[in-house]
Amino acid sequence: MSTIDPASSTSGQFAAATALAGAASLATASQATPASQSGGGKPSDGIHVDLSSAGRTLASGKPAGSSGRNSDIDNSNLPDTAKDLLKRIRELRDELARKQQELQAVASAQNLSADQKQVRLAALNQAMSSLTGAISSASGALAKSMEKTTPEQQMSAAALAMG
């Protein structure tokens, strides 16, 4: 059974995995019959929970679909620090793209007053500015972490950072 480290996963993933594990535990517990009642003789040591592959992915603290999306990074010959930074840069870029789509949706929304649009657009612009700063910071940390690597590793990291 997988364990979840709340410090290494995002709160949303942790909450989803916790809820999934809790639901699985409740379902299993409600279906379980103690050995003393079932006539099986020996009491069980506890409740056994089987998680689906999606549940195992959530429990591992990795975002769904991350294994395929980042397999090129995972399979590279880069140091773990660089791999983690590259994955973080991708996550930040994905979030920035979502915010840009949200910004376009708010700008074209017909059901919002001018004041509501202004407030939402300002909040989205602030979030996008923060994400851009985080991308710059992570890119700088990546460049610093790659200073003592081979030229091939540096080229590989640059190519992965672009993708």
Transcribe 144-161 into DSSP letters: HHTTTS-HHHHHHHHHHH
Q: Which domain covers residue 125, as residue numbers?
A: 68-162
pTM, to two decimals: 0.58
pLDDT in the model for residue 77: 93
1 inside domain: no
Give the whole-angstrom CA distance, residue 109 versus residue 86: 35
Residues of the chain whose pLDDT is less than 70?
Answer: 1-46, 48, 50-67
Please indicate, yes or no, whether residues 132 and 148 belong to a single structural domain of this protein: yes
- CA–CA distances in Å: residue 130 to residues 11, 33, 96, 120, 125: 19, 53, 9, 15, 9
Largest CA distance in the chain: 72
C-alpha to C-alpha distance for 142 and 158, rounded to whole angstroms: 9
In a domain, 2, yes or no: no
Check whether residue 92 and residue 28 sit in a common domain: no
Predicted pLDDT at 67: 58
Nearest to 146 by CA among 158, 162, 131: 158
Domain boundary (19, 49, 64) is at 64
Within a domain: 3: no
Mark whether 35 and 52 lie in a shared domain: yes
Q: d(Cα 163, Cα 160) in Å, to the nearest integer? A: 5
**pLDDT per residue as tens digits for the range 67-88:** 578 999 999 999 999 999 999 9
